[in-house]
Amino acid sequence: MELQKFTYDNRITRDFAMATIVWGVVGMLVGLLVALQIFIPEMNFSLEYTTFGRTRPVHTNAVIFAFVGNAIFTAVYYSMPRLLKTSMYSKLLGKIHFWGWQLIIVAAAITLLAGYTSGKEYAELEWPLDVAITLIWVIFGINMFGTILQRRVSHIYVAIWFYIATWVTVAVLHIVNSIEIPYSLMKSYPVYAGIQDALVQWWYGHNAVAFFLTTPFLGLMYYFVPKAANRPIYSYKLSIVHFWSLIFIYIWAGPHHLLYSSLPDWLQALGTTFSIMLIAPSWGGMINGLLTLRGAWDKVRKDPVLKMFVVGITAYGMATFEGPMMSLKTVNAISHFTDWTVGHVHIGALGWNGMLTFGMLYWLIPRLYNTKLYSVKLANAHFWISTLAIIFYAVPLYIGGITQALMWKEFTPEGYLAYPNFLETVTQLIPMYATRAFGGSLYLIGMLMLVFNVIKTAKQGSLVKVEEVEAPALHALPAVKTKSESWHGFLERKPIRFLIFATIAILIGGVFEIIPTYLINSNVPIISSVQPYTPLELQGRDIYVKEGCYNCHSQMIRPFRSETERYGEYSKAGEFIYDHPFQFGSKRTGPDLAREGVKTGPIYKPNAWHYNHFIDPQKMNEGSIMPKYPWLAEKDIDLKSTAPKIRAMKRLGVPYPDNYEHQANDDLLKQAEEIAQNLRDAGIETESTKEIIALIAYIQRLGTDIMKPQVEEEEE
Amino acid sequence: MSVVFVLIIIGILVASVFLIAFIWAVRNGQFDDSYTPSVRILFDDPVSSKENDRDLAEDKSQEKQSIKS
């Protein structure tokens, strides 16, 4: 058998590893900032760019797509060539992939802080960046599948199966959830509205957890845990079985994010069912990871890499048990909209993703630099401080989440809400928030220890740029089609090529043709009194989205007595049919706003109250943790955008009259003047063209449509 | 809720892609050996064990057959 010489390129792995570390520090730093902002509202430094509604998406995007994303690429670019005994397919594509991804991250941070957001959690980036992500992802895919095709080992190791599933599914999720109609260079509306948008978003959102935070990290685990322990995985058979079952089940669990919402019940039940089923394949992975270390526990005692892996995999096991439990309706009734969810997510993020990444880096960096880790002691200290950090982070949030939920639901013996003032349930949590921030800062300190250790390690060694290796050729078939075989035979012989073609076909064919036409005539139950937003309300709604209000305020009243007493009539699917995007939210740091505008409702406030509250929430509510928004009273509404916005909405099927875009600004100014006059009557001098007027108009519209006297419900 | 059908169709398409990949993997003999691959990754030297040569020889003969047919 002829031996072929080839090389492993360590430079690209090093680049991705360094990017992981840099973005890790940035993402965690922003995380600490938002953790402080949530109980010290002044921490936005009176800047609109750094208010919680904008910094929180920067944090989530930075840690998910920058920190974890680069960690995934580090693992792929290191392990795949070694598993397949080949170089990566293309160095150039690798470079484009690397720099493209980093540029997207920088652009994401800038645009999010500037207020360009699609208003959908974990998919906040606007359409130009969505396009860029798609292109870079395709380049990553070509590089990955190209490498698989030129492999010298026939067997595809299980880690690579996890990488393949990641690539395919993330591509589909991203494209389907990001179909939007641009109305300007940087802004767009999603084609889906209301409850449909919510379903697509959480189908995406949950699978982003599944296929960005879970499957690639299982791949990482299946490579780096055996390597670090120098032991084969406990059961290769189990890894195969749990891989296939995991990817087939995961995709249907999304609706568990919408339990008790106005999503049809059968879909909620479907989400719960699949979530419970997920325990088996998830624990398959956890058990396989942990049992790999059987007989090697003496190593675990000494080696910080293995310690981190053990805590990471254990956190994965805990989070994947807790998740299905939270998707049970009875548990979800308490956990949803509270900090419990935030705690749950961070067990996964800090434990599973963080610890596995740290372990990988401590194992990898000395090998890339052909030296020993600068300080094992420091790495051990990092391990302990991170583990403590996770406890200090999560436990207060569990306590806080349950405390708040129970306070929301508490009634007096007379049948009134025991804590009718929402703020009471918030101030109760401040000590918990402070402890959480302490936990977060411990985790950041640990990360800085890693930075120091990595720099020192890199300095004492020298980068092994390329490793020369040799392996016998895998007898390859001619790459081009031979005359004697049919096209399909050729495709069948190249299954991965077939996979690519099939995926591309799905994306182009299904997505761009079928979906928009499907959605114009949606069969959500129609409520005839629900009308499109007026131009002023639409502008106000876009400000609501821009400021990221959904990060703290929900717009979804669940059918519980504790909620209808507090907020008013529970939410109906038909109320949201013109909401591009939906703004249900997933966390109630502040009260629900779905019925904010209902004059007879329990939480109605007059225009003047809202005006003063936006300018200075603490003046209206002592102890409020909402940041001040004084710039809303200074900035003018962007009147030029009204016509394109109305046109885009009409294209999405919102029934504005013909040629309404020409008349829209007249209507807008008229309605704005009414509100300004109303404010003047209350003694507030303001111009009618300010953003705050539009936002007040939107807030006062919320939930009012079905309260109109002439309500006639037509179910279709 | 028409978007449900879109998601179901896409879900089924993705699942079929994975199903095809699975069937290919089984037919290709990817899962015939559920032990060696887990051990093999621990050795980063050039692979040239006898066992591996045999694997490769088998692959070769299979591929020849598939060309003929």
CA separation for the pair A694, A544 (Å, rounded): 10
A-chain CB neighbours of B34 within 8 Å are 236-237, 240
Predicted pLDDT at B10:
82
Measured in Å, how far apart are chain A's first and last C-alpha atoms?
70
- Are B2 and B25 part of one and the same domain? yes
- Are B28 and B49 part of one and the same domain? no
Q: How is residue A193 written in tokens?
A: 């509205």
A-chain CB neighbours of B5 within 8 Å are 518
DSSP letters, A384-450, are HHHHHHHHHHHHHHHHHHHHHHHHHH-B-TTSSBS--SHHHHHHTTHHHHHHHHHHHHHHHHHHHHH
Please identify which residue in the block is written with the tokens 């990001």.
Answer: A178
Residue of B nearest to A193 (CA): B3
The answer to whether the Cβ–Cβ distance between A199 and B13 falls below 8 Å is no
Predicted pLDDT at B32:
87
Q: How is residue A502 written in tokens?
A: 């099939």
Q: Domains in chain B: how many in total?
A: 2
What are the helix and strand counts (H, E) for chain B? 3, 0
Q: How is residue A474 written in tokens?
A: 């895998």
B-chain CB neighbours of A226 within 8 Å are 38, 41-42
- Are B28 and B1 part of one and the same domain? yes
Facing A475 at nearest CB: one of B28, B44, B60: B60
Provide the pairing of β-strand A526-527 with A3-9: unpaired
- Are B49 and B28 part of one and the same domain? no
B-chain CB neighbours of A502 within 8 Å are 16-17, 20
Q: What residue type is A654 in one-letter code? A: V
With H, G, I as helix, E, B as strand and everything else as coil, classify residue A255: helix
With H, G, I as helix, E, B as strand and everything else as coil, classify residue A188: strand
DSSP letters, A325-372, are HHTSHHHHHHHTBSHHHHHHHHIIIIIIIIIHHHHHHHHHHHHHTTS-
Facing A240 at nearest CB: one of B24, B34, B42: B34
Please name the residues in contact with A238: beta carbons below 8 A apart, sequence gap of 6 or more.
A284, A287, A288
Q: Provide the chain A residues 652-671 that lie in CB contact (below 8 A) with chain B.
A: none
CA separation for the pair A372, A146 (Å, rounded): 33
Set out the domains of chain A in order of their start, with CATH numbers.
7-472 (1.20.210.10), 487-520 (no CATH), 532-714 (1.10.760.10)
Is the pLDDT assigned to residue B65 strictly greater than 80? no
Maximum Cα–Cα distance for chain A, whole Å?
92
- Kindly provide the b/e burial profile for residues A448-458, where b requires at least 16 CB atoms within 10 angstroms of the residue's own CB: ebbeebbeebb
Write out A292-332 in H/E/C secondary structure. Answer: CCCCCHHHHHHCHHHHHHHHHHHHHHHHHHHHHHHCCHHHH
Preferred mutation among B13, B14, B58 to probe A, highest tally of A CBs within 10 A: B14
From A631, A396, A158, A221, select the one nearest B37 (Cα to Cα). Answer: A158
Instruction: Tell me the whole-structure pTM to 2 decimals.
Output: 0.90
- Are B45 and B68 part of one and the same domain? yes
CA separation for the pair A590, A458 (Å, rounded): 47
Is the pLDDT assigned to residue B47 strictly greater than 80? no
With H, G, I as helix, E, B as strand and everything else as coil, classify residue A690: strand
Preferred mutation among B10, B19, B55 to probe A, highest tally of A CBs within 10 A: B10
Predicted pLDDT at A568:
94
For chain B, say whether A474 makes contact (Cβ under 8 Å). yes
Does the ipTM surpass 0.95? no
CA separation for the pair A625, A639 (Å, rounded): 32
Regions of chain A where pLDDT drops below 50: 477-478, 510, 513-514, 517, 711-716
The answer to whether the Cβ–Cβ distance between B46 and A195 falls below 8 Å is no
With H, G, I as helix, E, B as strand and everything else as coil, classify residue A150: coil
Please name the residues in contact with A451: beta carbons below 8 A apart, sequence gap of 6 or more.
A21, A25
From A378, A229, A380, A404, select the one nearest A313 (Cα to Cα). Answer: A229
- Are B3 and B20 part of one and the same domain? yes
Q: What residue type is A483 in one-letter code? A: K
Task: Identify the domain containing residue B51 by its residue range.
Answer: 41-69
For chain B, say whether A506 makes contact (Cβ under 8 Å). yes
CA separation for the pair A49, A548 (Å, rounded): 11
Predicted pLDDT at A708:
77
CA separation for the pair A301, A68 (Å, rounded): 27
Please identify which residue in the block is written with the tokens 């290796």.
Answer: A469
Q: How is residue A339 written in tokens?
A: 């900090």
Is the pLDDT assigned to residue B56 strictly greater than 60? no
Q: What residue type is A575 in one-letter code? A: E
Predicted pLDDT at A460:
95
B-chain CB neighbours of A164 within 8 Å are 21
Preferred mutation among B4, B5, B9 to probe A, highest tally of A CBs within 10 A: B4
- Kindly provide the b/e burial profile for residues A95-111, where b requires at least 16 CB atoms within 10 angstroms of the residue's own CB: ebbbebbbebbebbbeb
Predicted pLDDT at A676:
96
Facing A248 at nearest CB: one of B18, B25, B36: B18
Residue of A nearest to B62 (CA): A475
For chain B, say whether A480 makes contact (Cβ under 8 Å). no
The answer to whether the Cβ–Cβ distance between A176 and B2 falls below 8 Å is no
CA separation for the pair A286, A312 (Å, rounded): 10
Facing B59 at nearest CB: one of A223, A475, A506: A475
Q: How is residue A274 written in tokens?
A: 């699949």
- Are B45 and B26 part of one and the same domain? no
CA separation for the pair A44, A691 (Å, rounded): 20
